[in-house]
A and B are shown apart, each in its own frame.
Chain A
Amino acid sequence: LAKTTQPISMDSYEGQEVNITCSHNNIATNDYITWYQQFPSQGPRFIIQGYKTKVKNEVASLFIPADRKSSTLSLPRVSLSDTAVYYCLEGNSGYALNFGKGTSLLVTP
């Protein structure tokens, strides 16, 4: 069973900032939060990973508060091509990636 909980789906308009929250109430001390993006008929793609506070790269930002019980993936100014499933994963080893159900993001004009 996935250790994380996230919304099943979200809708957004082009140009908006999208924030996808993920709940991980029982996160272990050694665990990280990792996000993947998957387009239809493609393999997942690593987006970002964090442990605490804020991490930012060219694709997204990830904020994890001090209690680490939740996290928020922020996608700035989404475009139609950001329509995808976004997976939030908790863990510290790639040997046991548990993708869970993911959030299906639909971006419309």
Chain B
Amino acid sequence: DAMVIQNPRYQVTQFGKPVTLSCSQTLNHNVMYWYQQKSSQAPKLLFHYYDKDFNNEADTPDNFQSRRPNTSFCFLDIRSPGLGDAAMYLCATSRDSSMEQFFGPGTRLTVL
């Protein structure tokens, strides 16, 4: 089945230690998104890629970066995680600007 895969499902890092989360897709969608979801809150869009074009949300902290080396893969880099960055990070894909997005299972990040 075509799907969105996120690895790892659970990630523990130390305060200030860089961490990378990965996402891959077999849907061949041209748009990939990263969302942050904190406990009991709604998902919040961090940025998205339309093909290789990177689009950052205005309020996404500089601490968050992303890379998309090819259509299938996208990475979220958190350069210096703080305690406030503990959250579920969700990757999603879509075809063009469709509001039908396909989400992965998420990576739960813990910052110690």
Contacts and interface: CB of A to CB of B under 8 A. Distances in A.
Interface residues of A, number: 23
A52 interface: no
Interface string A29-66: 00010100000011111100100000000000000000
A94 B103 contact: no
Secondary structure dominating the interface of B: strand
Interface in B73-112: 88, 90-92, 94, 96-106, 108
Q: How large is the interface on B (under 10, 10 to 19, 20 to 34, 35 or more residues)?
A: 20 to 34
B36 to A, nearest CB: 12
Contacts, number: 62
B97 A43 contact: no
A49 B90 CA distance: 21
- Report which residue of A41, A87, A93, A95 has the largest number of chain B beta carbons within 10 angstroms of its beta carbon: A95
Contacts of B45: 96-97
B73 to A, nearest CB: 17
B68 interface: no
Given A43-B90, A43-B106, A94-B94, A99 B42 contact: yes
B105 A42 contact: yes
A34 B31 CA distance: 18
B42 A43 contact: no
Contact of A94 (B43, B90, B97, B104): B97
23 contacts: A2-B42, A34-B99, A41-B88, A43-B103, A43-B104, A44-B101, A45-B103, A46-B99, A46-B100, A46-B101, A46-B102, A49-B100, A91-B99, A92-B97, A92-B99, A94-B94, A94-B101, A95-B31, A95-B48, A95-B50, A99-B44, A100-B42, A102-B42
Interface of B: 4, 31, 33, 42-45, 48, 50, 55, 88, 90-92, 94, 96-106, 108
